[in-house]
Amino acid sequence: MKSNLSVFFILLPTLFFGQSADVDLLPASFFKANRTQFIAQMPAHSVAIFFANPIRNRSNDVDYQYSQNPNFYYLTGFRDPDAVLLLFKEEKTFDSNKGVHELLFIRPKDKSEEMWAGKRSGISEAQKITDIRAVYTTTAFNEFGIDFTKFEEVWVEYPLQPNTEGRSKIALKNLVDDFNKKLLPQNIVDEIKPIKIMASCREVKQNEEIALVQRAIDISVEGFIELMKAIKPGFKEYQAQAIVEYFVKNNGGEYQGYPSICGGAGNSCILHYQDNRDSLKSGDLLLADMGGAYHGYTADITRTFPVNGKFTDEQKLIYNLVLKAQEAGIAVCLPGKSFRATHEATFDIISKGLVQLGIIKNDKEADQYFMHGTSHYLGLDVHDAGTYGPLKAGTIITVEPGIYIPQGSPCDKKWWDIGVRIEDDILINEKGPATNLSGRLPREIDEIEQLMLQQSYFK
């Protein structure tokens, strides 16, 4: 088929599974259970306060796409800015709402603002989303007369500093000012305890969350598969980026979970390279690290493959060493293993392999070419919250060893500009080996080269 972008974008929607938007949002009961779990860990006579993220300004009168504070979302499911959640250890009464542990303040409706920026959730809608009975507008906060000095412990997730960015600056500043008047610094017992509890709660994923992470992975994998088939010398790095991001958007992903990394040749040796502007040449490797976000949960996948479809001998040696290390890292993804077990397993293999290849003289020099950790938690954040204690069933982590040999490295020049990272998203199981949630995407050299021979809508 001719390389025709218009044909590609007309036909592509029929190539991948379809799903109506927002049919698999998490239910209000999910967020209710999360709040119950959090409150159970609060001490007697305490209150915890969580703020929604503000709208952040990009430039002049243009704002960034809004992204909710993950902890606030985990507890409420509420996606609007300028909201505040209060959780009480003991039952409270507010107006006709008796015996409540939860109090939510949201922005008031504003027809003028909604005309420009979109519909705001009203009180009844917020109640439905969150399963919180006591919902009020932020303008009503002062009427409650909450005396925070009466609590033995006051937890605040973030310091209460007025944020004047974005179009919501007046409403948010007024709200924060109101809280500052009632919350004296000496009343705030801890800003760390709520973060630690949230990390413990979010570390182990519930089945509903695992399904959303899997969906984010699946739509990202489809993009990677098409990219491997489409890539050829002369591509721009941003064109490679666009293919994966198209599949994410076309299949319901709201945005990328993090800025896409598409680095060819020497750029593959820059860990968080994000310019993605250079041309790709025959003989280059492309390191593509991308992951779409679906209903707040993100994928995080990396593959490295040759632009012309064939690995060189040197590239094969480095690639297979990284792959061997990754397999060793995945093998120790078992309940009870230390969080660093994956890094220890991968680093041991890479360090010994680099010595055997003559790239380093002793294994203590390996961190010159493998300088990052092997794993992080994955979920609502790409580097998700967690305790970094022993691995637990239901936890999702990445396993992503890499070797990066930039120009000028103290080794034979034949290794220069080879950067390889292989990353998959791994679910820790209660029994037996872990599940590679992104394992459908080829990793073996033969499989990659065979896939790259297949027809693409770009060739």
369 in catalytic set: no
pLDDT interval class at 238 (50, 70, 90):
very high
Q: How many CB atoms lie within 10 A of CB 112?
A: 7
- Which CATH superfamily groups domain 28-201? Creatinase/prolidase N-terminal domain (3.40.350.10)
Segment of 57-61, 92-96, 137-141, 365-369 carrying the highest mean pLDDT:
365-369
- Please report, for the chain, the start and end positions of each structural domain, with discontinuous segments joined by +: 28-201, 204-451
pLDDT interval class at 147 (50, 70, 90):
confident
Residue of 131, 423, 424, 425 marked active site: 423
- Which CATH superfamily groups domain 204-451? Creatinase/methionine aminopeptidase superfamily (3.90.230.10)
203 in catalytic set: no
372 in catalytic set: yes
pLDDT value, residue 373: 98
> Cα(375)–Cα(279) distance, rounded to whole angstroms?
30
Position 19 pLDDT exceeds 50: no
Residue of 272, 275, 367, 444 marked active site: 272
Residue of 22, 61, 91, 446 marked active site: 61
> Cα(294)–Cα(218) distance, rounded to whole angstroms?
10
Torsion sign (Cα): 387, 388, 389, 395: positive
Mean pLDDT for 259-288 is 98
157 in catalytic set: no
**DSSP letter string, 125-147:** HHHHHH--S-EEEGGGGGGG---
Mean pLDDT for 332-355 is 98
Helices (H), 296-340: 313-331
101 in catalytic set: no
Residue of 35, 107, 421, 443 marked active site: 421
| Residue from 311, 300, 259 nearest 399 by CA | 300
300 in catalytic set: yes
404 in catalytic set: yes
383 in catalytic set: yes
61 in catalytic set: yes
pLDDT value, residue 191: 64
Q: Is-same-fold flag (28-201; 204-451)?
A: no
pLDDT interval class at 383 (50, 70, 90):
very high
Of 446 and 6, the structure prediction assigns the larger pLDDT to 446
Mean pLDDT for 355-371 is 97
pLDDT value, residue 368: 98
pLDDT digits (tens, 9 = 90+) for 90-134: 999 888 888 999 999 999 998 988 898 889 999 999 999 999 999
Of 51 and 425, the structure prediction assigns the larger pLDDT to 425
Of 166 and 59, the structure prediction assigns the larger pLDDT to 59
